[in-house]
Amino acid sequence: MKVIEGSTITSASESTIDCHQHQLVVIDDQGYIARTVDETDRDFASIKATAAQAGQLTTLGADEYLLPGFIDLHVHAPQWPNAGVALDRPLNEWLDTYTFPTEAKYKDVAFAKRVYDDLVGELLANGTTTVLYFGSVDNPANLELAKACINHNQRGFIGKVAMDNPDQTPENYRDASAQSAVADTERFIHQLDQLNQTASIKQTAVITPRFVPSCTPESLKGLGKLAKKYDLPVQSHCSESDWENGYALAHYHKRDSEVLDEYGLLTDKAVMAHGTLLNQSDLDTFKARGVAVAHCPISNVYFGNAVLPVSKLLEQHVKVGLGTDISGGYSPSIYQNIRQAVMSSRMLNDGVNSELRPEQRGTSHQPISAKNGFYLATVGGAKSLHLQTGQIKAGYLADLQIVKSPLKAFDDESMDQVFEKIMYHASKADIKQVFVQGKLAATANS
C-alpha cells in the first residue's frame, strides 16, 4: 500500500472540478486507488502513520498538487524527430516531403530504439500517463515502441500503421499489398501479446489504417475484420482537412466517415483524429457507433482548415479527448494543447474576419474553459479508451502527476485560482513526479 498526502484536483464533470486542500490518496498493490481519505475522517491519522512507518508515504509540499495523469489520444511516434518542422507546408506536401521519409528510417531498429526511449520519457515528463500511438509500417520498430513504454512504465496503445495505396504513398515506405498490411497487423497483435506476458503495465494493439487516402478498399476491409475478430481499438484520421475530406468524396463519392463505417472501422473502440470538418451526419454516426474524436488543437491550426466545435460535441454527447498529434503538433505537452483548445474555441465563437460586422463574424458554438480542457485531457481520454482512470477516485487506476504551482502566490488564493494558474502556466519543469498504475514512471526529468 502506498499513500500520497496533499492537495488534490480532479475533474468532476465536463465543466467542474473537485478540489481538496488536504487528502490521503491510498493506492493498493494492484495500482488502483483504494480510497481517498479526508482530514475529517476518523482513520486519517492512523493511515498516515502506518504508511510513514512502512516508508510508503509521499507528502506533497505546500505549493504542490496531485492531479490525474493526462491521456494523449493522438501521437505519431516516428515523427518525434520532426516536431516543429515544416508546419507552414500544405498537408500533402508535408507528408510526402518530410513525414514519410522520416518514418521510412524506422527500418533501422537501433534508430527506433533511440528515438522511442526519448519520446516516451518526454511524454511522461509532461504528465502524460497513457498514449494512443501511431507506430510505423515496420513491426520491429513498433515493438521497440512497446518496449520503451514498458521500460518507462507508460501505458501505450500502439498501432502498426497500414498504408498500401501506391497512388498516395511512396514506394520505399508502404505495405507491399493489402494482404501484407493485414497480415503484418495481425502478426503485431500476437507479438505484442507475447511481450505483455512479462510486462507489469500491459500495452494494447490498435488497428491503424493511416487514413482513407493511404489505404485501398481491400486493406480497409481486412483491417475492419481484424478489429472485430480481436475486439481491438481502432485509430485513424477522419475529416481532418479539405484535402483529405475531398479525396474521399472524389474517389468514393462518400464522406470519409462513411467509407470507414462501411468497412467496420467505426466502433465504440474507435478514436478518429481531428474531425475539424465533421458534419452533423458524421456526428450522428459517431454518437450511434460510440466513436471518439481526438481533438488536436495545435495541429489543427496548421492542417485542420477549420476549428473543431468542441462544445457542440460535448452537448451532443460525442466522446472527445485531446491529442498532441506530434509532429503535426509541435508540442508534446497536453497542457499546451488545453490552452490552444480554449483559445481556438474563443476564436471560433468570436470570429476572425474583421471585415465582417460583429454580428456576422462569429459562430454560435460556445467557447470552452480550462475546466472543459482538463476534462478532455483526463476523463474524456479515459472514456475514449474504455479505461477506468482519469480521476482521483476510489476504484480508478492510480495514474497521477504531482505538479508544483508554477507562479508565486502573493495573497490567499482559492483552489479554483490555483487550478487555472496550473492549466495556463505549468510546464515540464513543474511536474515533479508521475505515477502510472501506482508505479513511479521513468521520465525525462528523472
Per-residue model confidence (pLDDT) at position 43: 96
pLDDT range class, residue 184, cuts 50, 70, 90 = very high
Write down the pLDDT at residue 90.
Answer: 87
The pLDDT of residue 105? 97
Handedness of CA 253, 258, 264, 270 (dihedral sign): positive
User: For the structural domain made of 2-68+390-440, what CATH number should be given?
Assistant: 2.30.40.10
Do the Cβ atoms of 398 and 27 come closer than 8 Å?
yes
Those residues whose C-beta lies under 8 Å from the C-beta of residue 24, and which sit 6 or more positions away, are 3, 4, 5, 36, 37, 44, 47, 48, 51
CA-to-CA distance for 303 and 312, rounded, in angstroms? 21
Query: How far is residue 270 CA from its own chain's centroid?
Result: 13
Q: Give the integer Cα–Cα distance in Å for 239 and 256.
A: 7
Instruction: Pinpoint the alpha helices (H) of 231-306.
Output: 242-252, 256-262, 280-289, 297-303
- How much of the chain is helix, strand and coil, in % rounded to 5? 45, 20, 35
pLDDT on residue 170? 94
User: How many CB atoms are closer than 10 A to CB 335?
Assistant: 26
Residue 195 — pLDDT band, cuts 50, 70, 90? Answer: very high
* Contact status, residue 38 vs residue 7, Cβ threshold 8 Å: no
Domain boundaries, the chain: 2-68+390-440, 70-384
Q: What is the pLDDT of residue 445?
A: 85
pLDDT band at 244 (very low <50, low <70, confident <90, very high): confident
pLDDT, tens digit (0-9, with 9 covering 90-100), for 383-434: 999 999 999 999 999 999 999 999 988 888 999 999 999 999 999 999 999 9
| CATH (residue range 70-384) | 3.20.20.140
The rounded distance, in Å, linking the Cα atoms of 401 and 433 is 6
Per-residue model confidence as pLDDT tens digits over 105-160: 999 999 999 999 999 999 999 999 999 999 999 999 999 999 999 999 999 999 99
Report percent pLDDT > 70 for the chain. Answer: 100
Average model confidence (pLDDT) across the chain:
96
Element (H, E) at 96: none
Asked whether the beta carbons of 333 and 339 are under 8 A apart, the reply is no
pLDDT at 261: 98
Q: In this predicted model, what pLDDT tens digit does every residue of 199-237 receive, in sequence order?
A: 999 999 999 999 999 999 999 999 999 999 999 999 999
Give the pairing type, strands 128-134 and 70-76.
parallel
Q: Is residue 21 scored above 90 in pLDDT?
A: yes
- What are the residues whose beta carbons fall under 8 Å from the beta carbon of 109, sequence distance 6 or more? 140, 141, 144
pLDDT of 311 > 90? The answer is yes
Q: What angle in degrees, to the nearest 10, is found between the helix axes of 139-152 and 178-196?
A: 30
Cα separation of 358 and 364, whole Å?
13
Which single residue is written with the C-alpha cell 486519517?
Answer: 44
- How many Cβ atoms from other residues are within 10 Å of residue 315's Cβ? 12
Distance CA 163, CA 248 (A): 15
Helix (H, G, I), strand (E, B) or coil at 58: strand
